[in-house]
Each structure stands twice: as C-alpha cells, then as structure tokens.
Structure 1
Amino acid sequence: MPRRLARFLPRRRRSSHPPRRLTALLLAVALLPLLPATARAAAPADHPPSAPAARSAVAAMQPGWNLGNTYDAIPDETSWGNPPVTRALLKKVKSQGFKSIRLPVTWGVHQGAAPGYTLDPAWTAKVRQVVDWALDEDLYVLLNMHHDSWMWVNNLSTDHDAVLARYTATWTQIAAEFRDKPSRLVFESINEPTFSGTSGDDENYRLLAELNRVFHRIVRDSGGGNASRLLVLPTLYTNADQGRLDALAAELTALRDPMVATTIHFYGWWPFSVNIAGYTRFDATSEQDLTATFDRAYDTFTARGIPVIIGEYALLAYDHNRPGIIQRGEQRKYFEFLGDYARRRQLTTMLWDAGQFLNRTTLQWRDAELFGQIRSSWTTRSGTASSDMVFLPKSGAITSRTLTLNTNGADFQGLRHGSRTLVKGRDYTVSGNQLTLTASALTELAGDRAYGVNSTLEARFSRGVPWRIDVITHDVPVLSNASGSTSGLSLPTQFRGDMLATMEARYDDGSNAGPADWTSYQQWDTAFSAYTGDSIKLTAEFFNALKDGSRVTLTFHFWSGSKVTYYVTKSGSTATGTPA
C-alpha cells in the first residue's frame, strides 16, 4: 500500500496507508487469440467474456501476500524500512501457506527521460530476480505498476500525450522483459488508478479504460507467453462502489478477452480501520460494510464467471510500531470474518504486508496469534467472543464476569489455562451463548492482583483457532497536570492496568473540538495517541484545530469501561491541561 497520507484519509467510498493491503494457469487454456471466430462471437455483447482458465488461475492464487514497501518504495527497495529481498523470505512465505505474491513495483523513479523512458537495467534485474525466485518456489506472481499511479500517470487528463507515451514505453519494456516467463506470472495494469484535473467520474472512467486498453494491447502484441498471460485490471481507485464495478465490467465487455481478471482493495469500514467516531469495535456496521463490498464484487463479476482478486487487504491503521489503535481482539474478529466471507464469495485475497505482519529480518510473524487467525480463516471459521479481556478491580471483592460467545457455527469445547483444563460448573458456566467465569476461578487467576494481565485463558472450539481471554487487574487511570507547547502536549498518565480506547473532545458549548469536527470522537494518531506506559499525547494537529483561548473537555474512554474527564486550553502557542 502507498506510504501516503491519502491512505489514511476518508475513503471516496473506496476500500480503505497504513491502507498505510490483495490469485494455476492451466497449460491447455482457452486463449482468445487461438479461439475460432465463432467461439469468440458466442459471448453476449452485453456480458464480459470469461474463461475457466482465468477462474482456475485466480483460484490457485489463493491465498496471496504482498511484498509491500519494497520495490514500490521510493527511491529504492530499502528506503521505507525493509531489508533487501532474499530467497529465504520467499521460501518462508511459501511455507506459511501462501500460493501467490503480489510484487508492487514503482518504475518511474528508475527510468530515463523521453522519448525512450528507458528502464534502469539494474533495477529491472532486481525485479526479475525476485520474480524468478518466486516462480521457482512455485508461487504465482502478480507484477504491477504501483506508485507511478499518483506520481505521473495521474496527469493523464492534463498531459495526455506525454503520459500515454511514457506509460506505453514502460509497459512495452516490462512486457518484453517478462514475455517468456511461465503463465504463473500475472500482470496488473496499474495500482489504485487516480486522475487529477478531471471533470468527474465519467472522465475518470474513460481515462482508466484508455490506459487498460493500451496495457492490454501492449502485452498481447508482445507475443510469447504474453499472448495468453492472465491480465488483471483495476476499478477506479481500486474501489468497489457499484459505479466503479460497472465501469470496469463495461471495459471487459469491450476488450472481449477471457484471460482477464479484476481487482479491488479492501481495508475495512473506514471509521473502524483508523479508530475515529467511536468505532472501536468490529461491530455490525463494520461487518455490513464488508459483506456489502464483497457482495457487490461477487454479483458484478464472480457470479458472471469473472474472477476477482482483492489485491490488498488489511486494516488502515494496523502497524506493529503503533499498537493500540485497533484493539487486538477486534483485529482478530475482523480478519476472521474477512477470510471466511471472501472464501464464501470466491474472492482471492492478498494480504498487504509492508513489514507490519512478517518481520523480514527474523522471518518471524510479529504477532503469531494474529497470523494464526488469518491463516485459519482461509479454510474454516473460528469461534470468538464479545471481548478478549476480562477486567477485575485492584481491590475489593472479585465477582463473576460474563462474555458472549460467537461460535460461528462451531461447538464450544471448554477453557484452558496453560496446560490446565478449567472445570465446567466450578470454574465457568455456559448458558446459551453466555460464558460466565466464576468469582472463585477469577480470584485464583488474578493471583496477587498486580496491574495488567494476570492470566491468559484459551476458549477452545470444535474448529478453527482458540480465542484468547486476558484476565486483567486495573484501577481507574489517573491523569495529572500538563503544560507545554501546542506543537504537542504529553499528559502524564498512570494507566494502572487499563488501556485507552478512544478520546472525545468538546467545547464548553457542547460542540465538537479537534480536526474531525463532524464527530466528538477524534482519530487516534491524528489528534491523540497512547503508545507509552506513562502518558497520553495530544498532537500539533489537534491543537491547530482548536479555537484560541477556549477550554476543551476531553473524555478518555478506556477498555475497562472507565471514563476520565480532562480539560485542555490553548493560548497562542501554549497549551495547558488539568484533570477534572
């Protein structure tokens, strides 16, 4: 996914930077150039053609993984924090069950001037080496043109002939370089196409259709394996709104090439994926956004025999360097549901990994439990619960706690604490979908009741992976006075075992305060953050949005259910804060 702020902005009803994102061609394929004219004419004029070979290839690409922020990085492969690619990395990816990789490549910063726009041979050799390594590992490879989309291709409307000449020269060289590679190499015309200076969607659709036609002609006319290679075309913005899908369907009808697939991207319901407007949970709204998106892709393409690749999927704000934006259990619910529903809708998924999932230095998953959930979702559902946290008070009597089980069609089989199986009736009870942990069991699990996680349980089901439940001791967090600059203010905080969920901001008249003035619940990382154990931080962007001299009431919501009120005042370039 691009390392661009646009990834974090509200979607044009698109998928969703971090979103800082997602398939065996048969040897005997029904190739359009080789089909009899009568067979080619058989496809209805108002229906995109399709081929079993294209559908088989995309199905064989499931699941896929993105080599993100590497060959798409600017200016070089290590510029955005990842180490050079090794054969061992691709072996690891293959060993983890992936069947394909998407190889995003930014070509424009590695090519000469007009009129030749010659690609740097050393850069092309690097890309070719990774393609060869992946093919040798029996992986499919989806090779594309990536950040060029917003670096120069987006000027197609205002600088049409120059952009088209460069696009043509670039793809002509790529097609020639890889024309004799096996059919497991697949080409994608452009990543997240966008155009500047246009009159609106109608012009955008026309420009994208023109690009895709040029791409299609170049690749097919280059011969060799390219004459029958699977080609992947995106919607505008790689978004799955119905208008975008319909426009691409019209393109496919005009191309009349059965060896073509479509692609969209998905990063979740935008408020949930960035933690804004109080959407801290993967709730019914987030679930409905996902199902509606996948249903539209299915109805428009898959149900009509046109394969769909979700070329990138993840959560926009998921990043191992910024934990807490999206709570861990809610992440797991999202990925569990996404994997299952994509499978039901026959969509091939390609995980966007810019290094936040797989550590490319150690070749270990940064969160093995989360990846276990993702991998399990490729084949089955897993049980979850309303939360993966049970909060207990630091002092006073411990009482029973109840969670709602989401069995997702599985059978609940019990609880384990380490190697010990908890006893039903004594340690917990189950009534319908209500799991209750008894006071006596929780008292034992809390131990000396130190702040934080005291014990971790596993809820086990008849299929899928276990659901983690942390038993946590906490008190209401305590914030202290703060003073400093509007360039950023740290509020000293004793979290006392609790974790911040979100923050509201209002002026004394009740109106919303902060950058997102359409909601009282501000966006994590844009207005506030809490990455250390000693403070909550308010950003310069937050203070820049405040009225000078006005007091703002902050309400901090914590995952235990605790709320803490705090006041901040901006006076010129000075900021002060006091507890309520």
Structure 2
Amino acid sequence: MKKSIYKTGIYRRFRSHAMAFSTCLLVTACGSSGGSSTSTPPLSNTPPTSQQEQRIELPDTEQNSLGDALSASDAVQQMGIGINLGNTLDAPFEGDWALAGEEYYIEAFKNAGFKHVRIPITWGNHVDEASPYQIDAEFLNRVETIVNWVLSRDLIAIINVHHDEWLKSDYDNVSNLNRFDSIWMQVSARFKNAPSNLIFEIINEPRGLTEPQLNELNKRALSIIRNETSNRLVIFAGNEWSAIDRLLAIDNPDPTDPFLIGNFHSYDPWEFAGICTQSWGSNLDKQDLRDIYVQAYEWSVANNVPVIVNEFGSAKYDFQNPENVCDQSQREEYLRTHVQYAFEFGIAGTFWDDGGSFSTYDRATDSWGPEMLILTGNQR
C-alpha cells in the first residue's frame, strides 16, 4: 500500500497551535463517574535526585473489575459507525477551533443514528508543567460532563490523549514521560468505576515516535490503566499518522489482554479527502481503499484483536487553500464506500466531524448535511 501522506492541511494548522503541554499524577477524588478514589497515593517510591527527575512508579491502588464489561469484539460490533466531537476539547482551549460543546450535539448524534462518540482531548494547557503534574480540576470536570452526556444516552464514548505535541516532539525527556503517565494515572482513577461503554485510547497519531518508543509507551500506558481497572477496553494504534501500515508495524502491547482494540486512520488518498486537488471514484480508487480494509481485517484475524478506524472523512474544501473544493457527489461516494467496507469487514468506523470543512453536523443550527444518512442509514 502507498504510505498515507494525509494530515498536511487542516491538521497541520492545528498542530502549529500546539503549546507546551503537561500532565498529572495525583488521583484525588473529584466527583468520579462512579465514585472512585479517595486518598492521594504517593507519587513515587523513588524520589527524584537533584540532578535528574526519575520515572514515577505506579501508585498503590485497589484494582477493580467492571461487572458490565464488554468484550472487545462485542464493543466493536456495537460501535458500528460513530462520530468525532472534533476541534472541541482537542483545541488549545475549548472554543478556539469550533463552537464549544453542548449537550444537544450529543442528542443530535444519538437521534441521527450514530452508535458511538469519540471525544478527542488535548490535555497540555490544563495540566501543571511540574511534578505532580496535576490536571486542572475544572477541565477534568468538563471532560467528565461531556463523557456523561454520551454515556447517559447509552452510546459508547472514547477519550484519548490527542494533540499533546510536547510528548511527541521530545519523547526522551523524563519529565514529559512522567507528565504523560500522570495523565493516564489521573484519568484511570477518575473514571475507574465508569461503565464499560467508556473506552480509553492511549494516544492519537504519535508522529515523531519510533516504533520501539511507541511500543514502550503503549505498554506503559496499558499498565497504568490496568493498575486501576482490569477490563476497561483500551484502543492502540501505530505511529506517525496512524495509517494501516503503522498498525501492522508495531507490537500488540499485551497479547494476553482480551480487552484491546486496534486502530488506524484513513483519509486516503489525502490529495482527494484532505486537500481536494484530485478526483475520486474510479474502480481503482475503490480497490485501493478496499485494500486498506483488507489489511486491517487480516491483521485483526492474525492477532485476534478487533479493529476500528476511528478517523475517516472527506473535506469539503482545503482549509489552507479554500479555492480547492471537493466534488460533493464524489465526497458522498467516498464516505459511502468507507461505510460499505467497514461493515463488510466488521470494522467500526468514526467519522471525523470538526465543525468545519470535514463536518456533516452544523452545530450552530443543529442541522445535518447529506453525509449523515450515508453514514447512519443502515443502522438507524
């Protein structure tokens, strides 16, 4: 397969806004979604030296097991086609890139027939930059509020670490690693008793990390999550822009863990789906896209891990060069083909809706474009 070169348009604009982000370790009880932690465990059994910060250790905690646990395969089957609440909590500050989140958006997603909602989250501007890397309580409360909007409607919710470039650009920095670990320590504790239809996604598009670095990161994050909950579903993906070839290249973080879901992204070819400089729709175009899903399916069978493509979509126009406009009929056929292959190969899919060029939902008017029925028509 040709290596995906997507995400050179709108996403790079957003990544250029990335600031120095941070994370936290304190697992204080802040109104947990099922009520979880109480006292604050020590941050590390190995205090840092004056010369160099040491890697933090997992806190002492009582691991729980969710009584309503979904198997990974059942979850992917239930997820069907979902939608991203993009450019919201993943913006530097909510409201910077799109209208702030409102509960009626989630109600609209539910009524439209979407089965899950991915909530991308960028943590850095909301986390202390020094130990103990505590997440701002107001922001964590906001995350929980939006998560509960989704869970209360019996939809599956996904939360992640999204545009946190401070880690991706300086992975070997021990402080950065501790900040990242601290995010997942706090998030895992905060949502420890949340229902099983809340899924954690370790990291979004870890561009700049090598395969060995990402293998290490995925294993570490999974151990942090498992330290709190034995059977919470966890999504992992490959490095760079998380194209299918990147998933095929990395390790399963724990082949003995039955609660893992593999993930890839596809805006292929980016020249059509991202920057609108070429047409799409030939038999060869469709075969190339099908080949991506075939690779995902074959990896899933070989590794006994179900798969999701939690970002796919097509721009209406190139954000950086708005004179480049994608043909609407081709856009619709492109999305229809994605959905067809997702169902053919048993792969759940999450449409990228950013409230802008990639959107089908108009947040200001609470109305839908024609893409919605293509995405949800066979699961309404």
How high is the TM-score relative to the length of structure 2? 0.78
Structure 2 Cα separation of the partners of residues 62 and 318 of structure 1: 27
Counterpart in the other structure of 1:209 = 215
Runs of 4+ deviating beyond 6 Å: none
- Give the partner amino acid of 1:299: E
Task: Figure out how many residues of one structure are paired with residues of the other and give that number.
Answer: 320
Structure 2 Cα separation of the partners of residues 319 and 364 of structure 1: 22
Structure 2 Cα separation of the partners of residues 167 and 344 of structure 1: 37
Q: Does 1:63 align with 2:69?
A: no
Counterpart in the other structure of 2:345 = 345
Deviations 1:67-116 (A, max 9, x none): 00000001x1101131x222211111101001110010000111112111
> In the alignment, which of 151, 155, 159 is matched to residue 170 of structure 2?
155
Structure 2 Cα separation of the partners of residues 111 and 287 of structure 1: 43
Structure 1 Cα separation of the partners of residues 243 and 91 of structure 2: 26
Q: 1:110 to 1:33 in 2, by over 3 A?
A: closer
Q: 1:323 to 1:348 in 2, by over 3 A?
A: farther
Deviations 1:450-480 (A, max 9, x none): xxxxxxxxxxxxxxxxxxxxxxxxxxxxxxx
Q: Does 1:325 align with 2:325?
A: yes
Q: What is the 5 A alignment of 1:416-495? A: none
Shift of 1:307: 1.0
CA contact (8 A) 2:114 2:376 kept: no
Q: Which has the larger radius of gyration?
A: 1
> Which of the two has greater helix per residue?
2
> In the alignment, which of 163, 175, 181 is matched to residue 168 of structure 1?
181
Deviations 1:106-155 (A, max 9, x none): 0011111211111100001101001111111111100101001x233331
Q: What is the 5 A alignment of 1:41-440? A: 53-74=71-92, 76-82=93-99, 84-148=100-164, 150-157=165-172, 159=173, 161-195=174-208, 204-222=210-228, 226-242=229-245, 244-248=246-250, 250-252=251-253, 254-273=254-273, 274-276=275-277, 279-302=278-301, 304-316=303-315, 318=317, 322=322, 325-355=325-355, 356-365=359-368, 367=369, 369-376=370-377
Shift of 1:370: 2.8
Gap runs ≥5 in structure 1: 1-10, 21-31, 35-50, 197-203, 380-580
CA contact (8 A) 1:153 1:163 kept: no
Structure 2 Cα separation of the partners of residues 230 and 56 of structure 1: 11
Q: What is the 5 A alignment of 1:493-508? A: none
Deviations 1:20-60 (A, max 9, x none): 8xxxxxxxxxxx998xxxxxxxxxxxxxxxx9811001211
Counterpart in the other structure of 2:17 = none
Shift of 1:245: 2.7
How high is the TM-score relative to the length of structure 1? 0.52
Structure 2 Cα separation of the partners of residues 292 and 15 of structure 1: 17
Q: Share of identical aligned residues, percent?
A: 29
Shift of 1:257: 0.6
CA contact (8 A) 2:166 2:176 kept: no
Structure 1 Cα separation of the partners of residues 105 and 212 of structure 2: 40
Shift of 1:13: 2.6
Shift of 1:324: 6.2
Q: 1:85 to 1:275 in 2, by over 3 A?
A: closer
- Give the partner amino acid of 1:364: S
> Which of the two has greater strand per residue?
1
Structure 1 Cα separation of the partners of residues 322 and 6 of structure 2: 21
Q: Any idea what SS the aligned residue of 2:271 has?
A: helix
Counterpart in the other structure of 2:54 = none
Structure 2 Cα separation of the partners of residues 220 and 281 of structure 1: 43
State the Cα RMSD in Å.
2.6
Shift of 1:286: 2.3
Shift of 1:164: 1.2
Structure 2 Cα separation of the partners of residues 211 and 179 of structure 1: 21
Shift of 1:326: 0.9
Q: 1:146 to 1:52 in 2, by over 3 A?
A: closer
Q: Any idea what SS the aligned residue of 2:262 has?
A: strand
Q: 1:169 to 1:92 in 2, by over 3 A?
A: same
Q: Any idea what SS the aligned residue of 1:372 has?
A: helix
Counterpart in the other structure of 1:527 = none
Q: Any idea what SS the aligned residue of 1:262 has?
A: strand
Structure 2 Cα separation of the partners of residues 319 and 92 of structure 1: 26
Q: 1:323 to 1:353 in 2, by over 3 A?
A: farther
Structure 2 Cα separation of the partners of residues 187 and 354 of structure 1: 20
Structure 1 Cα separation of the partners of residues 102 and 354 of structure 2: 15
Q: 1:318 to 1:53 in 2, by over 3 A?
A: farther
